[in-house]
Amino acid sequence: MPAEHAAIIGAGVAGLTAALALSRRGISSDIFEQASELTEVGAGLQISPNAAHILDDLGVLDRLTDVWLEPQSIRLISGTSLRKIASVPSGPFARARWGAPYGVLHRATLQSALLTAVAENPLCKLHLGARIDAAALPDTQRPADLIVGADGVWSQLRQRIDGSPTARFSGNIAYRFTVSGDSAPDFFDRENVSVFLGPAAHLVCYPLRETGNFNMVAIVAGNSGAHAWLSQPNETQREQLSSRFKGWNRALTALFDKADGMNFWPLYEATPGKWQDGRDTVLIGDAAHAMMPFAAQGAAMAIEDGYELAGFVATRPVAEALPLFEAHRVPRINRLRQRGAFNQFAYHARGPIRIGRDIVLSLRPPQSLAADLDWVYGYRAVG
């Protein structure tokens, strides 16, 4: 029989979206989070139209659009000369072409909106400070016929699934920080997303309306300790950042010295593996397929997962639904991984390849670049 009650492990974007999507189908859930309070690490987040469409259907989007920024374009810029290379139109263009907006916001804003919606929903019950152990799951208020692992790249619930993914270091480091709007350089665009490209590194920059700051993410190849995760960069790690941006425009690299709250974030990804056990347990979001941020689709894929899972388990027996859900989602995730790998190659290109990249991109009309993203942004999740 279709699912009636779910136990969801993890109260991040994937878990909270799944709870709301299940409730839309009349399926109740207990959501278990081992943290005693929910605090979202990181700073900025991009919500593309494929995810915005889902949040709208779940009644969450209106809580975001009043405070987020809808950029007019996503601009690719040389990190050495500061010359614009190309741009992808957004703003009203995104709404018209892909049927939903593209917005940038603080991660805490999305987290708060999802939490408020869950708290207001009688079919959703959130439990904080719940110890997560794959061998002995927390007790639910009623028997759970569906167990959802939404507990991130370091998922404990994976242990319940033979042949499930594992976390591995990608070889990339993200340095995340903010720059005050008052002290930001004049060339920073206050209406758009800017992606500065250079040899061996790239830097993403966009304004956050909620804070008045600019969200900054510098991504480089680097080394990570065996158990490194999110921390303040030490002297060696800061030197690593500076070395990767050697030769970049000094106005950009000078920002590293006055960054507010810089975090050193080794990027881990999930290896290929099974997402479900063919009975009652399934992984979603980063627990299933943590990927590199080169396509800016991590949060969007978590949202799609939670929404589409609800559609599958609401219309057929759970044991039948879970393999079908995995088979449906894996090709899209794999295609996005390939897109991310291509973007990494293009963004971090060196020498003649970098010159050729700039020439090719500069010759393409913005609408042509947008068309390349139709399969990503125009996707309509089945819920």
How does pLDDT run across 250-263, given as a tens digit for each residue? Answer: 999 999 987 778 99
Structure confidence at residue 136 (pLDDT)? 75
The tens digit of pLDDT for each residue in 139-170 reads 777 899 999 999 999 999 999 999 999 999 99
Structure confidence at residue 172 (pLDDT)? 93
Residues 6+ apart with CB under 8 A from 72: 89, 90, 91, 191, 192
Q: How many domains does the chain have?
A: 1
What CA–CA distances, in Å, run from 106 to 68, 103, 159, 206, 215? 8, 10, 32, 11, 8
Structure confidence at residue 183 (pLDDT)? 85
Tell me how far apart the alpha carbons of residues 41 and 51 are, in angstroms, rounded to a whole number. Answer: 20
Q: What is the arithmetic mean of pLDDT over 67-93?
A: 96
The tens digit of pLDDT for each residue in 85-107 reads 999 999 999 999 999 999 999 99
Q: Residue 216 domain-assigned? A: no
Assess whether pLDDT exceeds 90 at residue 24.
yes
Q: Residue 193 domain-assigned? A: no
Is residue 40 very low, low, confident or very high in pLDDT (cuts 50, 70, 90)?
A: low
Q: Residue 365 domain-assigned? A: yes
CATH number of 14's domain = 3.50.50.60
Q: Residue 244 domain-assigned? A: no
Structure confidence at residue 7 (pLDDT)? 96
Domain enclosing residue 294, as ranges? 5-167+270-377
Structure confidence at residue 21 (pLDDT)? 98
Is residue 223 very low, low, confident or very high in pLDDT (cuts 50, 70, 90)?
A: confident
Assess whether pLDDT exceeds 60 at residue 227.
no
Percent of the chain's residues with pLDDT above 90? 77
Percent of the chain's residues with pLDDT above 70? 97
Residues 6+ apart with CB under 8 A from 27: 2, 3, 4, 5, 6, 123, 146, 310, 313, 314
Structure confidence at residue 163 (pLDDT)? 97
Structure confidence at residue 41 (pLDDT)? 61
Structure confidence at residue 100 (pLDDT)? 97
